[in-house]
């Protein structure tokens, strides 16, 4: 069963259980949520190190102007998508949400005795989020710059595999039960109705917004390629719909590559840019995370500051590098930043996970379709030089 379907079932079951569960069963669910939340908090810094350090090490070992240009353009597009999402959400959501004010999602026994867990565990993380980011940069830089650091690079790759294994075999299977507990607590506290209405409005806006981002990206690419951006987008539609179905950037690479070549991008350049951007270009994912964060903060009466979000988006574009290899990896990698930079609680993060996964296919489709625009720009900049440039990056 796909993760999205499991999340939908968990949300519906949690809401229904909130009306029929006895107190002892609700407390049992809250006990699980408390332990799971502590473990997730412990894992987040390790997840950041496990994703970011190997990615920096791998990219840094490659030389060549084409690599640098591709990474820079992908990051600028990701950052620009995040800022556009912030500007749109901050302007639209206050009116769209109609002044809805959600109660603090950090529910506890103060709102209902049934929400008191039987016991709690305090699992302190090994480091905070910013320390994890700096540590990842140091390890990744060392792995990239030291020619003889093969053991370090192998260690980083192995650590990434460990983190991915924990996510795939433990976090992802248990995530629906965590979401179930969150919506169970909301139903018990009587705040689930406004939250579901908020969810529907957020999803509608994000769907329109990600189409707008693709149009902007291809309009920019047309300045380099001198091609009709809408015809190029139409050419990329098979890749877009493949991503909607697979919800995987990696699984869509063959289709994305074929359609990028069909747009007129030389095959050597398309073969270099498309697989690389499947890892580093995260416009759609960033768009979703930022829009959901703005909406939830507005609904809770929290201040939405442009400067804070600019810093958050700048860090987010780095933190979620290499996260597409794991289902929901981008939102998992962003949880630490949401807590440390935007002040999200554990329950707020759980709602972010539910919202993100509900739109996972939209973000993936936006990411991989935008890769074609980046390939067009790179093809124009390095026209006639692709063979020599690609040889330098081997």
Which pLDDT score is estimated for 174?
Answer: 86
Which pLDDT score is estimated for 53?
Answer: 82
Residues whose CB falls within 8 Å of the CB of residue 261, separated by 6 or more in sequence, listed in order: 267, 270
Q: Give, for 162, the enclosing helix (H) or strand (E).
A: helix 150-166
Inter-residue contact 3 to 172 (CB < 8 Å): yes
- Give the pTM: 0.75
User: For 365-386, what is the mean pLDDT?
Assistant: 84
User: For 260-283, what is the mean pLDDT?
Assistant: 85
What mean pLDDT, rounded, does the chain reach? 81
Query: Distance from CA of residue 226 to its chain's centroid?
Result: 32
Which pLDDT score is estimated for 296?
Answer: 83
User: For 51-73, what is the mean pLDDT?
Assistant: 75
CA 190 – CA 140 distance, rounded (Å): 47
Which pLDDT score is estimated for 383?
Answer: 75
Which pLDDT score is estimated for 382?
Answer: 83
CA 165 – CA 288 distance, rounded (Å): 25
User: pLDDT-based confidence at 109, cuts 50/70/90?
Assistant: very low
Domain boundaries of the chain, sorted by first residue: 3-392
Which pLDDT score is estimated for 353?
Answer: 81
Query: Nearest 5°: CA angle at 207, between 202 and 209?
Result: 90
With 60 as the cut, is the pLDDT of residue 381 above it? yes
User: pLDDT-based confidence at 176, cuts 50/70/90?
Assistant: confident
Which pLDDT score is estimated for 78?
Answer: 92
Tens-place pLDDT, residues 20-33: 888 888 888 888 98
Cα–Cα distances (Å) from 118 to 179, 218, 371, in that order, read 19, 54, 49
Q: Which of 13-27, 129-143, 212-226, 362-376 has the lowest mean pLDDT?
A: 129-143
Which pLDDT score is estimated for 285?
Answer: 87
CATH label, 3-392, candidates 1.10.3470, 1.10.3860, 3.40.50, 1.20.120: 1.10.3860
Instruction: Compute how many other C-beta atoms are within 10 angstroms of the C-beta atom of residue 340.
Output: 16
Which pLDDT score is estimated for 146?
Answer: 83
Which pLDDT score is estimated for 290?
Answer: 92
Query: Distance from CA of residue 246 to its chain's centroid?
Result: 16
User: For 242-256, what is the mean pLDDT?
Assistant: 74
User: pLDDT-based confidence at 102, cuts 50/70/90?
Assistant: low
Tens-place pLDDT, residues 183-242: 888 788 776 676 777 777 788 888 888 899 999 999 999 998 889 999 999 999 888 888
User: For 301-325, what is the mean pLDDT?
Assistant: 80
Which pLDDT score is estimated for 62?
Answer: 59
Concatenating the DSSP letter of every residue in 254-277 gives HHHHHHHHHTT--HHHHHHHHHHH
Q: Which of 117-131, 313-327, 335-349, 367-381 has the lowest mean pLDDT?
A: 313-327
Cα–Cα distances (Å) from 109 to 115, 189, 237, in that order, read 5, 10, 50
Tens-place pLDDT, residues 121-131: 888 888 877 78
Which pLDDT score is estimated for 153?
Answer: 86
Concatenating the DSSP letter of every residue in 285-339 gives HHHHHHHHHHHHHHHTT----HHHHHHHHHHHHHHTTTGGGSTTHHHHHHHHHHH
Which pLDDT score is estimated for 352?
Answer: 83
CA 118 – CA 33 distance, rounded (Å): 11
Which pLDDT score is estimated for 105?
Answer: 45
Q: Give, for 240, the enclosing helix (H) or strand (E).
A: helix 237-246
CA 348 – CA 355 distance, rounded (Å): 11
């Amino acid at each position: 069963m796909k993760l999205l379907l499991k999340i939908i079932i968990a949300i519906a079951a949690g809401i229904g259980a909130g009306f029929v569960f006895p107190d002892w069963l609700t407390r049992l669910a809250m006990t699980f949520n408390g332990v799971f939340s502590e473990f997730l908090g412990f894992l987040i810094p390790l997840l950041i190190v496990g994703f970011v350090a190997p990615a920096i090490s791998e990219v840094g070992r490659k030389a060549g102007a084409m690599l640098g240009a591709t990474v820079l353009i992908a990051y600028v597009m990701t950052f620009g998508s995040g800022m556009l999402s912030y500007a749109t959400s901050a302007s639209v959501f206050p009116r769209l949400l109609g002044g809805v004010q959600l109660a603090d999602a950090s529910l506890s026994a103060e709102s209902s005795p049934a929400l008191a867990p039987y016991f709690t565990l305090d699992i302190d993380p090994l480091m905070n989020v910013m320390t994890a980011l700096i540590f990842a940069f140091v390890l990744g830089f060392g792995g990239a710059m030291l020619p003889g650091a093969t053991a370090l690079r192998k260690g980083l790759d192995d650590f990434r595999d460990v983190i991915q294994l924990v996510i795939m075999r433990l976090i992802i299977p248990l995530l629906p039960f965590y979401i179930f507990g969150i919506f169970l607590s909301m139903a018990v506290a009587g705040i689930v109705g406004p939250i579901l209405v908020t969810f529907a409005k957020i999803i509608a806006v994000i769907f329109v917004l990600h189409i707008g981002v693709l149009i902007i990206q291809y309009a920019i690419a047309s300045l380099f390629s001198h091609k009709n951006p809408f015809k190029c987008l139409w050419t990329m539609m098979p890749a877009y719909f493949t991503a909607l179905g697979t919800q995987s950037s990696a699984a869509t690479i063959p289709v994305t590559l074929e359609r990028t070549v069909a747009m007129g991008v030389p095959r050597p350049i398309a073969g270099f840019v498309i697989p690389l951007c499947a890892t580093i270009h995260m416009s759609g994912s960033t768009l979703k995370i930022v829009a959901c964060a703005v909406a939830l903060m507005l609904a809770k009466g929290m201040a939405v500051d442009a400067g804070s979000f600019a810093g958050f988006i700048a860090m987010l574009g780095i933190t979620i590098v290499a996260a597409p290899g794991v289902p929901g990896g981008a939102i998992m990698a962003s949880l630490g930043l949401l807590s440390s930079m935007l002040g999200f609680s554990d329950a707020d993060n759980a709602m972010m996970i539910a919202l993100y996964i509900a739109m996972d296919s939209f973000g993936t489709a936006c990411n991989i379709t935008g890769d074609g625009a980046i390939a067009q720009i790179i093809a124009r900049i390095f026209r006639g030089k692709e063979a020599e440039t690609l040889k330098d990056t081997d």
